[in-house]
Structure 1
Amino acid sequence: IVIPENHMLLQAMLFGKSYEDAFAHTESIFHMQEKKQKLQEHFAKKD
């Protein structure tokens, strides 16, 4: 999680990208939503 967050921060600081642009660019590289979904499925409580 730290690497994508740092990447987003660098996009904003160095290149002046908006949050939306930095998020979209970072998502295209790291596929954070896909990984988040897999983690949620893996760690979901199963009754």
Structure 2
Amino acid sequence: MPIERISVEESMAHVKRGKRGRLDVVVYRGDEKKDAVLVIECKALEVAYL
């Protein structure tokens, strides 16, 4: 996997139109960065996520 296909602190609008906020790590299928194949969201232990 080329490192150019990995984005850190990526805007959610790049992954889903109209969404706000940021994703911690996004891995894209191609160099065009159009199709996300992996999204990683990291939270501190004290942050509730459910």
Identify the TM-score tier after normalising by the shorter chain: under 0.3
TM-score (norm 1): 0.22
Higher strand residue share: 2
Higher helix residue share: 1
